[in-house]
Structure 1
Amino acid sequence: MLLALLLCYAGFTALCLSLDRHHGELLHSKPSPRRRLGLRLGGWLLLLVSIWPAVQAAGWSRGLVDWCAVLMLSALLLVLLMPYRPRLALILAGVGLLASPVAAFATL
């Protein structure tokens, strides 16, 4: 379930960065249309891929419920971090993406 959490958080962070306000706040620049599209596609792709580890861990019936819980938890974490510690939110997404392969091998 850790892998699903890491992927969901990274996906929501990418979707967050695709918005002008958050991109400017975190990276101090306005995203180009191409970067904005890439962040949106990457964010949605990460959210879709995060279904797989949840289903692998608990089956379709319980895995989808667990995935919904992980979605809500990762979104809540991002929403709580953005106003007070926006740089920490970005750092956690990067660390989560780097730790994802380790979490994937740990579930094998």
Structure 2
Amino acid sequence: MLLGFLLCYGGFTALCLSMDRHHTELLGRTPSFRRRQGMRITGWLLLALSLWAAVSAAGWGLGLVQWFAVLMLSGLLLVLLLPYRPRLALSLAGVSLLASPVAAFAQY
């Protein structure tokens, strides 16, 4: 479930950065079209990988329930951090993506 959480948080942050307003606020420049598309594709890919991780760890019945719980928890964390600590939200996304291979090895 930790792997799913890390991937979901990274995916939601990538989707957040695909929007002009959040990208400008967090990184200080407006994104190009190519960067926006790349962030959007990366975000959806990370969310799909988190679904795969949850289902492979617990099966379809419990895995989907855990995945929806992880989706809500990671989305809530990002929504609460973004207005007050945007740099912390961005650095947590980087840490989560760096820690996800470790969590994958620990899971299997």
**Normalising by the residue count of structure 1, what TM-score does the alignment of the two structures yield?**
0.98
CA deviation profile, 1:14-73 (whole Å, cap 9, x unmatched): 000000110000000000000000000000000011011111221101100110000000
**1:77 is the counterpart of 2:102:** no
Partner secondary structure for residue 29 of structure 2? coil
- Alignment coverage as a number of residue pairs: 108
Query: 2:48 corresponds to which residue?
Result: 48
Query: 1:96 corresponds to which residue?
Result: 96
Displacement after TM superposition at 1:2 (Å): 0.3
Unaligned runs of 5+ in 1: none
Identity %: 74
Tell me how large the CA RMSD over aligned residues is.
0.5
Query: 1:37 corresponds to which residue?
Result: 37
In the alignment, the residues of structure 1 paired with residue 99 and residue 62 of structure 2 have an alpha-carbon distance, to the nearest angstrom, of 25
**1:26 is the counterpart of 2:8:** no
Query: 1:87 corresponds to which residue?
Result: 87
CA deviation profile, 1:52-108 (whole Å, cap 9, x unmatched): 111122110110011000000000000000000000000000000000000000011
Runs of 4 or more above 4 Å deviation: none
Unaligned runs of 5+ in 2: none
